[in-house]
Structure 1
């Protein structure tokens, strides 16, 4: 059963839900502890966004603990939109929380759209994070005047796993293929036929 939790972020309390591994009887450590970030806060993104919710549930089915949280200024999380840099600080705080909760478990960094950008860039440089997961990262897109760059992800050698919709209108598949070709191994991209 998910546990509603408040974690301390740099701008105050961040609203969060920790989903335990579905395969654990409570005595077994999770396969990994995953922080899962939501889409752009100024475009309706929350920890309850369908892709984030289902992604977290999928991770729990394979034995992971998954922490979803609202960035600053979303839901009951304190603060206001931090233009990406503030949200990266929030993500680091979520990693701190999970590493304290599961000190002997590997951390994975995951996100959807804007949240993928945050998760990939923060996770790529955090030594505690062993795997990066991005769903429809904004690799060839500008949202609200923000152009997303991925220097840490591109330079990183951590395993990277991506899921991309074939017909994604916000993060086009062509841009994803170009980005993917620039990444170092190990890497994997799964394209969902017909998905937007």
Structure 2
């Protein structure tokens, strides 16, 4: 889904507060119970990190995927240690929108691994098949 104010979605950007509410509402409506996989790209990864923090106590989070995490622009929530093995943090080496160093600075205190795509930019131009393959491998049980 698109967050408020993106694409054909109604509403206005809310710096993550309203977008978190939107994500939690989608989860409640589309997957109210059972195991859950959450994923986000860039700003969406920031929002997803906060959704994970909210849902971790009440839901079985099977897999988490954070791509191009906007760690230099927003306060990304830390992930509980027990979720690390189920989490894929993927970032482009040459990301000029969110520097790799910012993501490493966020991940380092958590000892959370980051998978770096050599030569990858923020939008992974020319590398989307690779990105798809990496994410699908992570999602397989």
Aligned to 1:158: 83
RMSD: 2.0
Gaps of 5+ in 1: 1-68, 143-147
Which of 35, 39, 42 pairs up with 1:113? 42
**TM-score, length basis structure 2:** 0.71
Which is greater in Rg? 1
1:82 lines up with 2:8 in the alignment: no
Residues of 1 paired with 2:15 and 2:102: CA distance? Answer: 23
Gaps of 5+ in 2: 122-141
Contact 2:94 / 2:120 at 8 angstroms: preserved in 1?
yes
Contact 1:124 / 1:158 at 8 angstroms: preserved in 2?
no
Contact 1:121 / 1:150 at 8 angstroms: preserved in 2?
yes
Runs of 4+ in 1 over 3 A off after TM superposition: 154-157
Aligned to 1:125: 54
**Which structure carries more helix by proportion?**
2
Sort the Cα spacing of 1:190 and 1:156 in 2 relative to 1 into closer, same or farther, 3 A. Answer: same
